[in-house]
């Protein structure tokens, strides 16, 4: 089928023991099952890709009429979560194909895309790792950002100035994580290391490009 990715949901972290007895930290990801909803080709769309939908047990509510038409054209029930993943050139993947965790093999490297945890409004010390001022008696400069520009020229704050603001909730891509174990019957992948996002968050797992 040569589809290069799957939609998953982060469950949490644990540890597993390798055959040599070494304990390694892993993230448990519930990967799929997914179904191909739309196939994009280089001839028609300019690139090769597949739009896949996450198959969930709960009923999908509030589907708009355009989305109902989109799924009716594919002959599939509506999916709440849709993502686009690359496919190999010349792939035979077609609408209705099932994508499951057995797409990956133990020891394989993967790229994971998710949304980082939201931290709300944060100051420059937490958000940008500013050092801050002295903590001694009499100091009135502890966690303030300091100068944000000159007064006479350019008389404005330059773009890109690091300042306090909203932190987190960013799209994060982590490359070259190792698949430690594949439990295809449970639609579960155990991936070595940390995966972006909170428990229960959606992620896209793709085969590593390199």
| Same domain assignment for residues 177 and 103 | yes
Three-class SS state of 100: coil
Give residue 1's pLDDT: 52
| Same domain assignment for residues 200 and 106 | yes
**Beta partners for 195?**
none
| Same domain assignment for residues 113 and 162 | no
- Euclidean distance between the first and the last CA atom of the chain, given in angstroms as a whole number: 20
Distance of CA 61 to the CA centre of its chain: 24
* Sign for the pseudo-dihedral over CA of 202, 79, 104, 43: negative
| Same domain assignment for residues 105 and 159 | no
Domain holding 76, by residue range, is 5-118+173-207
Please give the model's pTM, rounded to 2 decimal places. 0.85
| Same domain assignment for residues 155 and 180 | no
| Same domain assignment for residues 25 and 112 | yes
Give residue 193's pLDDT: 87
| Same domain assignment for residues 21 and 43 | yes
| Same domain assignment for residues 112 and 198 | yes
| Same domain assignment for residues 131 and 108 | no
Overall number of domains in the chain: 2
User: Residue 141 has what DSSP assignment?
Assistant: -
| Same domain assignment for residues 67 and 18 | yes
Phi and psi angles of residue 152, each rounded to the nearest 5 degrees, phi first: -70, -45
* Whether the Cβ atoms of residue 8 and residue 29 lie closer than 8 Å to each other: yes
| Same domain assignment for residues 136 and 178 | no
CATH number for the domain that contains residue 198:
2.40.30.10
Give residue 176's pLDDT: 93
Per-residue tens of pLDDT for the chain, all 210 residues: 588 899 999 999 999 998 899 999 999 999 979 999 999 888 888 888 999 999 988 888 888 999 999 989 988 899 999 999 998 877 778 888 899 998 899 999 999 999 999 999 999 999 999 999 999 999 999 999 999 999 999 999 999 999 999 999 999 999 999 999 999 899 999 999 899 999 999 999 999 887
Closest C-alpha among 42, 40, 172, 177 to residue 115: 172
């Amino acid at each position: 089928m040569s589809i290069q990715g799957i939609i998953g949901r982060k469950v949490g972290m644990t540890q597993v023991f390798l055959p040599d007895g070494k304990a390694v930290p892993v993230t448990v990801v519930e990967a799929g099952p997914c179904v191909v909803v739309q196939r994009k080709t280089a001839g028609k769309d300019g690139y090769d890709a597949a739009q896949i939908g996450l198959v969930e047990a709960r009923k999908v509510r509030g589907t708009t009429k355009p989305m109902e038409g989109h799924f009716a054209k594919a002959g599939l029930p509506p999916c709440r979560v849709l993502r686009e993943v690359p496919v190999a050139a010349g792939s035979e993947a077609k609408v209705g194909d099932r994508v499951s965790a057995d797409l990956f093999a133990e020891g394989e490297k993967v790229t994971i895309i998710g949304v980082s945890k939201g931290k709300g409004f944060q100051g420059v010390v937490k958000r940008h790792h500013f050092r801050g001022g002295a903590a001694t008696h009499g100091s009135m400069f502890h966690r303030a950002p300091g100068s944000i520009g000159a007064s006479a020229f350019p008389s404005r704050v330059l773009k890109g100035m690091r300042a306090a603001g909203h932190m987190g909730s960013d799209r994060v891509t982590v490359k070259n994580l190792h698949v430690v174990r594949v439990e295809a019957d449970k639609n579960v992948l155990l991936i070595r290391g940390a995966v972006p996002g909170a428990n229960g968050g959606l992620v896209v797992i793709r085969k590593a490009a390199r």
